[in-house]
Chain A
Amino acid sequence: QKEVEQNSGPLSVPEGAIASLNCTYSDRGSQSFFWYRQYSGKSPELIMSIYSNGDKEDGRFTAQLNKASQYVSLLIRDSQPSDSATYLCAVKRVQGAQKLVFGQGTRLTINP
């Protein structure tokens, strides 16, 4: 079982719709959860972090965490073509110095 699993996609969403990206993790003791966006040929950039169960909203982005189900998701409202990128889910384990484990990423395409 992979430590952090994401559907690699590609996920195609029409412009203006809600894009929903999902991630599951295997380490039940994980504490911190992050979503990074990576444009083609560029480095990952942090867009959301979440540490407790529930929803966290930041502009058009909402991160959702359910520790009982070991599931974290990212919703993008009013999707724009500029949101087309690969989205990486990352999970921090309890122990170790910033031992961040990444999923393989979901490639998202927003169609105009």
Chain B
Amino acid sequence: ETGVTQTPRHLVMGMTNKKSLKCEQHLGHNAMYWYKQSAKKPLELMFVYSLEERVENNSVPSRFSPECPNSSHLFLHLHTLQPEDSALYLCASSVNRGSYNSPLHFGNGTRLTVT
């Protein structure tokens, strides 16, 4: 299997639930990202991991907790979400080598609905 794979594709959860989104990349990249895409809004960068170290955290609420156990896997742990957190969550990966950054490769996303 190649590319960036996200599971689940769809998720419906209540505000008191705890769930996790999973992302796996088979491209040999060393950086991984979480983006949020809401209707009629630009893609919002949430977190960046480079060489398994978190290097960006764009003021994301603590109810979103990322985890990057290795360069191929990325998780987004969710708890006590709000209805406004309903969105498409996209994982992406790239190669980062000093001043060189390859373009992002995106997964197909997880469509999250918070009820």
- Least CB distance from B54 to A in Å reads 10
Residues 71-115 of B, flagged 1 when their CB comes within 8 A of A and 0 if not, give: 000000000000000000010001010000101111111000000
Q: Would you give the 0/1 interface string for B21-53, flagging 1 where the beta carbon is closer than 8 Å to chain A? A: 000000000010100000011110100101000
Q: Name A48's closest neighbour in chain B (CB-CB).
A: B103
The reply to whether A92 and B101 form a contact with Cβ atoms under 8 Å apart is: yes
Q: How large is the interface on A (under 10, 10 to 19, 20 to 34, 35 or more residues)?
A: 20 to 34
Q: A97 contacts B41, CB within 8 Å?
A: no
Cβ-based interface call for B11 (8 A): no
Chain B contributes a number of interface residues (CB within 8 A of A) equal to: 22
Please give, as numbers and ranges, the residues of chain A lying within 8 Å of B104 by CB-CB distance. Answer: 44, 46, 98, 100
Residues of A within 8 A of B42 (CB): 2, 4, 101-105
Q: 6 extra interchain contacts, Cβ-Cβ under 8 A, other than A98-B101, A101-B42? A: A4-B42, A34-B103, A43-B107, A43-B108, A43-B109, A98-B50
| B contacts with A: majority SS | strand
Q: B55 at interface (Cβ–Cβ under 8 A)?
A: yes
A98 and B94 contacting across the interface, CB-CB below 8 Å: yes
| Nearest-CB residue, chain A, relative to B104 | A100
Listed by A's residue number, 13 A-B pairs whose Cβ atoms lie within 8 Å are: A8-B40, A32-B101, A43-B90, A44-B90, A44-B106, A49-B103, A97-B50, A98-B48, A98-B96, A100-B45, A101-B42, A104-B42, A105-B42
